[in-house]
Amino acid sequence: MSPLESGEREMLRGSLRRLLTGTDPEKRPAALDEFGWPELLASDPAEAVPALFETQGETVTASPALNAVMAGPLVAAGGLHRREADGAAGAAGAVDGVGEWTVVLPGPGSGWGRTGAVYAVAAGTPVTRCLDVGQPDGQATLAVVDAARSDDQGAAGPVEPVEGVDPELGLVRVVDRGSPAVRVAAQGESVTAAWAEAVAAGRRALAHELCGLSRSMLALAVDHARERRQFGQPIGAFQAVKHRLAEAKVALTAAEAAAGEAWADPGPLTALLAKLWAGRTARLTGKQAQQVLGGMGFTWEHPFHRHVRRALVLDSLLGSAPELEHELGRSLLAGGEVPRLARL
């Protein structure tokens, strides 16, 4: 598929904005499927992912689209196919819908799945089939968890909601109760490679969403600096305020460049750097915007708190900025050289 023209890209993002803000959370997966976003993801992920995830960040909405982004390599490694409405397996190569699979994400600092608390982004939709990658016996294993079933004693399924800092995101906790509704789909190096590819895809998507959040937080602060007046002039005229906003803008520009480079030269390292810069930028922009907003930013009525809470949670998924700094250091030490990341 040829790259979209700038006008077409704006139309795509405008349509996604209307879909996300005008559709109830539980209906968004079906709406995205009807819109054709999974097909765009399959044919042109470099257009589909930034368009949707940046819009989610800007509007502070949520969908289970992160699962669709990450599931592809895992589904291929496990030889899994789309399940049709009658329960039969679909044809190989069929495009999975946004809600077909749920990918289990390791919790902060837990490394591979099943070594600590693990989560998934459900965004208010029912979780039915989970893809869980772990190392239960020292070997990379891809397991399929039927989260909709309970065990023979009537115990609840292995998924429970997480309220936490940002309940609107729809995180769930996947609890391993030794349920019989777990089956191994694949093991070995193919799973390791697929998980690395899935993580890179997820980090690219989250980087774009964090950039969208930062852009929206900066816009809230800029609007406030223009409207709020002290000593007879807008507070944006004061040097201290200008410096805070400029620092956030510079960081955002760098994060957007890193996110773009992750598509120009796709790979685990560029995806890691994109997520790292985006997470640091979201925290920095949140801090500076809060300083500019002052007391208004602390009120429940002002939308700023929703952006900050979403940024904190998204930064923690698939490696927070500090965790990714350590991962990057280990990678550079193991390789023994500093790779060339971008053509300048």
pLDDT surpasses 50 at 133: yes
CA dist list (Å): 203 to 63, 69, 156, 236: 16, 10, 31, 34
Which one has a higher pLDDT value, 131 or 110?
131
The pLDDT assigned to 148 comes to: 67
CA dist list (Å): 58 to 55, 217, 219, 320: 5, 8, 10, 20
The pLDDT assigned to 115 comes to: 44
The pLDDT assigned to 271 comes to: 96
Using CA atoms, how far apart are residues 95 and 41, in angstroms rounded to an integer? Answer: 9
What mean pLDDT comes out for the span 61-76? 94
What mean pLDDT comes out for the span 271-297? 94
Identify how many contiguous H helices and E strands the chain contains and give both numbers: 10, 10
β-strand 129-134 against 102-103: which pairing, if any?
Answer: parallel
Domains and CATH numbers, the chain: 12-187 (no CATH), 192-335 (1.20.140.10)
| In contact, 259 and 278? CB cutoff 8 Å | yes
The pLDDT assigned to 110 comes to: 46
What is the percent of the chain where pLDDT is above 70? 86
Q: Which of 149, 52, 150, 163 is nearest to 98 (CA)?
A: 52
What mean pLDDT comes out for the span 93-110? 76
Least confident range from 157-161, 214-218, 340-344: namely 340-344
